Structure 1
Amino acid sequence: MQPDTTIKKLQLKDQLRSEPSKAWAPVEQALAYLALMTPILLLAEYFGITDTFKMNLLVGGAIGAVIGSTFNFFSSMALSQWTVPGQVDPEAVRSAMLALKYVEPQPGVYQPKRPLFSLFHRYQSERITLQAMGGNTLISGPYKQLKLLSAFMLPDAQSPASDHTPPTVQG
């Protein structure tokens, strides 16, 4: 029996309910963009690369940073859950986590070596956690990372029909 590979993204309200501070992550990205680009644009004006301070570039980039980081945080890296029927092999999980550049600070909890969403703060939703639930294992974490983990842990099984070699034509 093939394990269920469906990874369920939590809805936005559930993501924010589990970690309200994550709502500030796009704002932090916009502020980081402004802090980085303002001196660059001032220097461009000072050295004559531009004739004026490009405020529209600064505001447009900040809006783009908010849109991009919001999509990243709440869609492609959305807090997700994956229920694997049966127990998972701890060594297979550890080796897969090492490949994903995650470390295990405590048993069943893995976190990235460097923060995924912020330069200054580690969010709980960056972690990948494993919980035994009856005969199944619930794995939760960022959607993109869980998809990669599922690729490591559940390699495509080859069916016997695909193992045959094509017949040769004799002529």
Structure 2
Amino acid sequence: MKASLQPDRPRLLIHPGPAHPVRIESRQSRRGRHVRLTLAPGANMFDAIILPLAAIGIEHASTTILGGDFEQIEYCVAQVDPSGQTRVGYAEPLRAGRSCLIFGNATIGKNQQGAPIIHCHGALRAENGAVKGGHILTQNSIVGARPISVLVTAFTDIQLRVAYDAETNISLIKPYQETTNE
């Protein structure tokens, strides 16, 4: 009998902290701004996204990376946290070498100190031909010889900030919107 690749039952993931009654937080922006960005060859992905967007006043956004060749991609995948402090954490970085990013999404916001941060997930074909996916380490991933297109949806009245999340016991990017009396 051939072993099934499908689990015989769903797996249940229970985080260590108290469950928040709202599972997914969302905000609505009154208006948005759309930009097509081109990642420059030879640049690291972080600088190639953050610097041109900052120059036109964009600090909080969602992006779609349309794919392209990289001289180098580093990524990591989730693994069980052996300490038990959280359910999952990132494994040590993996080097995919010269690779093709098939597709990616990145969220741009600010860390706890107010510095820019990119949280990027993508699917890639590694140098050895294997298809992989995970959390892309943008500062260690170098754009290849040709520019790569990125579609940017900037948020005009919503900020994305890294903040501690009691349920997961880790810091996450969360939406923040000042309320107004309009």
TM class by smaller structure: under 0.3
TM-score (norm 1): 0.23
TM-score (norm 2): 0.22
Structure showing greater Rg: 1
- Bigger proportion of residues as helix: 1
Structure scoring higher RCO (CA < 8 A, sep ≥ 6) equals 2
- Bigger proportion of residues as strand: 2
